[in-house]
Amino acid sequence: MSNYYEDREAAPEGDRERDLFNRLPQALEQARARAPAIEQQLQGIHLQALRSRSDLQAIPVVRKSELLKAQTEARHAASPETPVVSRVFGGFSAIGWGAVARVFASPGPIYEPESKRPDYWGFARALHAAGFRPGHLVHNCFSYHFTPAGSMMETAAHALGCSVFPGGVGQTEQQVQAMADLRPDGYTGTPSFLKIILEKADEMGVSLPSVKRALFSGEAFPPSLCRWFAERGVQGYQAYGSADLGMMAFETEARDGLVINEDIILEIVRPGTSLAVPDGEVGEVVVTTLNPDYPLVRFGTGDLSAILPGVSPCGRSNRRIKGWMGRADQTTKVRGMFVHPGQVAGLLKRHPELIKVRLEVQGRIGADLMVLKVETAQASPDLQARVADSAREVTKLRADVVCVEPGSLPNDGKLIDDQRNYD
């Protein structure tokens, strides 16, 4: 049996890239025809001209806050005749009731459709990479209500040929009893809950030797916790996904970053902008999915990560990301005014001499000091003065500008670093 869920996971990277961009124009044409919000997002875009990642930068990024706003406004403005794709999903879905098998609600609320397509959320290859195989029983401890996490793992397990016990969350003693009775081959859920279950099993004097593999998501999975499970005979792996996009990247036996899922185009952009950053630089994860039912285009997740160089030692040839590295939304209130990452990033366009910028907010609440650090090889008092004027014009606040050597600012994706003392 192949080590991969699909042989294309090991396809030459150039072939994959060509295939994605050969399929993209038709996918976007269908999305534009069926999803009104996507049609608006793609206004003025010549779809057949989208042949590379750099071409995508002509399309504006849509962020989760905009999706929430679109759905909320659509519900308030809807009439009885308004189609479901607009009234419920803000125009971003290509399907309505009937074609939608389930609808979920994430905090906001933001409503997400799930169609009847097998492995709709794309987690089957992550389960396979974690060691699950046809005929296994999966003990699924993700929530089955409101949010799609439970369905994400269940539909993936079914696509892989596994059976599922819908354990859900809570009821730790009953989880232990079910595991002892059913002897599942593995677990899906958060790592913290499996740790609680195994510790409860110890307390009850119950052995759970069948649980040998796990696919985790929804929480950090640090190396220390990975070792803890390994010492208990459980090989745990992590997958990175969201309720909007499904599975975006997954861990393999190489344990060297997360391999990007097939059928999506993942970019890393400078927070607050639509512009991609160089590989290796931390920025916001932005995804274009070829899912015909929920065709999100350049969707900003708000998460920070970075592209890793080279190919995974496991042999999968797709690009890799470092993993979840925090949140990109660094909007900060200074002297009663909101300062946004996009405003700070905009200074790079105004001043081509700048390589990188970082706004540090110092002092105490009520006695704020803004220090704008700029990487440049052309430092001069004149440049400092011009950048300070631009910063004041953009933010309506005064900032002290400090020129620093190229490469000296941290590579952590931050455009705004709030260092104030809140005590």
- Per-domain boundaries in the chain: 332-418
Strands 400-404 and 367-376, sheet pairing: parallel
Q: What are phi and psi of 75, to 5 degrees?
A: -65, -40
Question: Is the distance from CB of 337 to CB of 397 less than 8 angstroms?
Answer: yes
Residue 364 confidence (pLDDT): 65
Residue 218 confidence (pLDDT): 87
Residue 156 and residue 119: Cα distance in Å, rounded? 5
**pTM > 0.85: yes or no:** no
State which fold the 332-418 domain adopts: GMP Synthetase; Chain A, domain 3 (3.30.300)
Residue 230 confidence (pLDDT): 97
The pLDDT tens digits for 297-309 are: 999 998 899 999 9
Position 254 pLDDT exceeds 80:
yes
Which two structure tokens, joined as six digits, stand for 270?
A: 């400078």
Residue 273 confidence (pLDDT): 86
Question: Is the distance from CB of 295 to CB of 94 less than 8 angstroms?
Answer: yes
Residue 366: pLDDT band by 50, 70, 90 thresholds? low
**SS3 state at 288:** strand
Residue 6: pLDDT band by 50, 70, 90 thresholds? very high
Which DSSP symbol is given to 278? Answer: P
The pLDDT tens digits for 287-336 are: 999 999 999 999 999 889 999 999 999 999 999 999 988 877 777 877 76
Total length of the chain: 423
Question: Is the distance from CB of 293 to CB of 115 less than 8 angstroms?
Answer: yes
Q: Round to the nearest angstrom and report the end-to-end CA distance of the chain.
A: 59
DSSP letters for 35-78: -HHHHHHTTT--GGG--SHHHHTTSPPEEHHHHHHHHHHHHHH-
Q: What are phi and psi of 262, to 5 degrees?
A: -75, 160
Residue 56: pLDDT band by 50, 70, 90 thresholds? very high
Q: Which of 14-18, 256-260, 412-416 has the lowest mean pLDDT?
A: 412-416
What percent of the chain shows pLDDT beyond 90?
A: 82
Residue 129 and residue 8: Cα distance in Å, rounded? 14
Strands 213-216 and 186-189, sheet pairing: parallel
Which two structure tokens, joined as six digits, stand for 364?
A: 């105490």
The pLDDT tens digits for 95-145 are: 999 999 999 998 888 999 999 999 999 999 999 999 999 999 999 999 999
Q: Quickly tell me which residue has 């920070």 as its tokens.
A: 304
